[in-house]
């Protein structure tokens, strides 16, 4: 039976140890002493499963990060000059851009 990383991550330690008990791989030796994090890593290595790597899809992350840096400067300037409206606008835009990056992360 083939497993995926997400499928293994949802299992309990007891279930992961049961899967490891049927394997004879160097990575899972001493599986009874491993905690979930280490056992999951060992099982992935033994089964040849790659961990999920988060990446941003469909956006130019560098451009958005540049806009965020500019907005942070404007926010600091507005705070120094006590301009509440400009400060509020900058904070909201920073939040929206960060959420945009977060939503595009797979």
Burial 24-46 (b: 16+ CB within 10 A, else e): eeebbeebeebeeeebbebbbeb
In the structure, what pLDDT confidence band is assigned to residue 98 with cuts at 50, 70 and 90? Answer: very high
Burial class (CB in 10 A: 0-12, 13-18, 19+), 16: buried
pTM of the model: 0.55
Mean pLDDT, rounded, for 24-45 = 89
Report pLDDT digits (tens) over 53-77.
Answer: 678 888 999 999 999 999 999 999 9
**Is the confidence at residue 1, as pLDDT, over 70?**
no
Give which of 12, 6, 98 is closest to 49, Cα–Cα.
6
What is the model's pLDDT at position 39?
A: 92
Report pLDDT digits (tens) over 44-58.
Answer: 888 888 877 678 888
What is the model's pLDDT at position 49?
A: 86
**Is the confidence at residue 15, as pLDDT, over 90?**
yes
What is the model's pLDDT at position 35?
A: 92
């Amino acid at each position: 039976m083939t497993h995926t990383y997400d499928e293994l991550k949802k299992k309990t330690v007891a279930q992961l140890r049961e899967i490891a008990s049927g394997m004879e791989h160097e990575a899972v030796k001493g599986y009874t002493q491993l905690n979930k994090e280490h056992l999951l890593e060992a099982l992935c290595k033994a089964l040849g499963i790659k961990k999920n790597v988060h990446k941003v899809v469909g956006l130019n992350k560098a451009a958005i990060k540049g806009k965020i840096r500019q907005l942070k400067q404007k926010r600091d300037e507005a705070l120094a000059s006590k301009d509440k409206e400009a400060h509020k606008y900058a904070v909201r835009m920073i939040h929206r851009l960060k959420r945009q990056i977060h939503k595009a992360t797979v």
